[in-house]
Amino acid sequence: MKQSVKVKLLDLVPQYERIKDEIFEAIGGVLSTQQFILGSPVETLEGRIADFCRVEHAVGCASGSDALLLALMALGVREGDEVITTPYTFFSTVSSITRLGARPVFADIDPATFNIDPASIRDSITARTKAVIVVHLFGQTADMDPILALGGERGVPVIEDACQAIGASYKGRSAGSMGSVGCFSFFPSKNLGGYGDGGMITTDDVRLAQNIRILRVHGSRERYFHDFVGINSRLDAIQAAVLTVKLGYLEEWNELRRERAAYYHELFSEVPEVTVPPVTEGNVPVFNQYVIRIQRRNECKAFCIENGIGCEIYYPVPLHLQKCFSSLGYREGDFPEAERASRETLALPIYPELEKGQQEYVAERITGFFQGRL
């Protein structure tokens, strides 16, 4: 019989219990207006996110996946174009490209940080490269300076997929404020999670922001008059109200995640079999996930589950090897570091309310697994 869960991978209940009254009030405020699509709650959140990320404009939309799609649409990406990105990310970083008929061109990752390797981007740029999407994976930003320099040199805009990195910073600059466009997700498991789907796009470029505002409402500047074919991708007022409440706590919650990451670091410091995620110079990560690298990963995962420890593999199949992308012609061996990461990584429980005793239990079990003491 499977043992009951002792430590969940993510538990949102304690956070909800703490802010319940504020949430009820915020949702009640929206219900009393009976205005559910966009409107002033969304405008308020857009302003707050723009301030938080230190950008000029923020535009709400229906999901992080749509944020990526809208960003590419606004940059004019279309059939025949190439977009460079990482094969080691969530699916929609890449499906946003193929949905527009453009071709994803993959560049391998840095094995230490799991983020796209700037040198590998340089090798992949062609005359058809229309954009680069970098992903700030697990909440730590990619090495942006060389990437932005390369983008500037070649006239290629850089999109930041910051869905896992709201509040993270790189050399004092906020995730989502460094490239031409930043994309955020408010999926419930993100550091700023709504009570359903939601997303946001950030930019300093007023024209891009205006275009995205039009594209998210079917491409109409004025209702029923369509200059472009856009999509239906709006943020709900109820989600915006919830997110505005939660944004007030985000900095504190991100700090608590960093403290928990530091404690795991300490707990695993004498366990050479476990490689903990490094924090690179100039980076302030937000640990949307806490991902270790280990051998015998699948065995260790099964062992964790048996011991009531929630854990997950992000991501078991790199995107160049997904069946739906087989027509791109990539093969096993093309991106060795992404492939190795897919075999060796395991995400452990992390969230602001995670208790020390729970972390000690996780570390004690995993240490026992590797050192044969169990």
Ligand X SMILES: *Cc1c(COP(=O)(O)O)cnc(C)c1O
Q: Which chain residues interact with ligand X by CB under 6 A? A: 63-65, 89-90, 92-93, 135, 161, 163-164, 185, 187, 197, 199
Please say which residue, 33 or 189, places its beta carbon nearer to ligand X: 189
Q: Closest Cα to residue 181, out of 163, 208, 214?
A: 208
Q: Closest Cα to residue 23, out of 257, 206, 193, 203?
A: 193
Please say which residue, 116 or 274, places its beta carbon nearer to ligand X: 116
Q: Min. distance of Cβ 349 from ligand X in angstroms?
A: 17
Please say which residue, 157 or 199, places its beta carbon nearer to ligand X: 199
**CA-angle at 213, arms to 209 and 214, nearest 5°:** 120
Q: Min. distance of Cβ 128 from ligand X in angstroms?
A: 24
Query: Which residues make Cβ contacts (< 8 Å) with residue 124, sequence separation at least 6?
Result: 84, 105, 106, 107
Q: Closest Cα to residue 97, out of 128, 71, 124?
A: 71
Q: Min. distance of Cβ 17 from ligand X in angstroms?
A: 24
Pairing of β 129-135 and β 158-161: parallel
Q: Min. distance of Cβ 114 from ligand X in angstroms?
A: 11
The one-letter amino acid at 122: R
Please say which residue, 64 or 157, places its beta carbon nearer to ligand X: 64
3-state SS class at 229: coil
Please say which residue, 92 or 113, places its beta carbon nearer to ligand X: 92
The answer to whether the peptide bond before residue 315 is cis (omega within 30 degrees of 0) is yes
Closest residue by beta carbon to ligand X? 64
Q: Closest Cα to residue 148, out of 105, 187, 177?
A: 177
Please say which residue, 233 or 307, places its beta carbon nearer to ligand X: 233
φ, ψ dihedrals at 296, nearest 5°: 50, 40
Please say which residue, 157 or 198, places its beta carbon nearer to ligand X: 198
End-to-end CA distance of the chain: 19
Q: Min. distance of Cβ 67 from ligand X in angstroms?
A: 7
Q: Min. distance of Cβ 9 from ligand X in angstroms?
A: 15
Q: Min. distance of Cβ 237 from ligand X in angstroms?
A: 18
Query: Edge-to-edge strand order for the sheet containing 173-174?
Result: 173-174, 169-170, 283-284
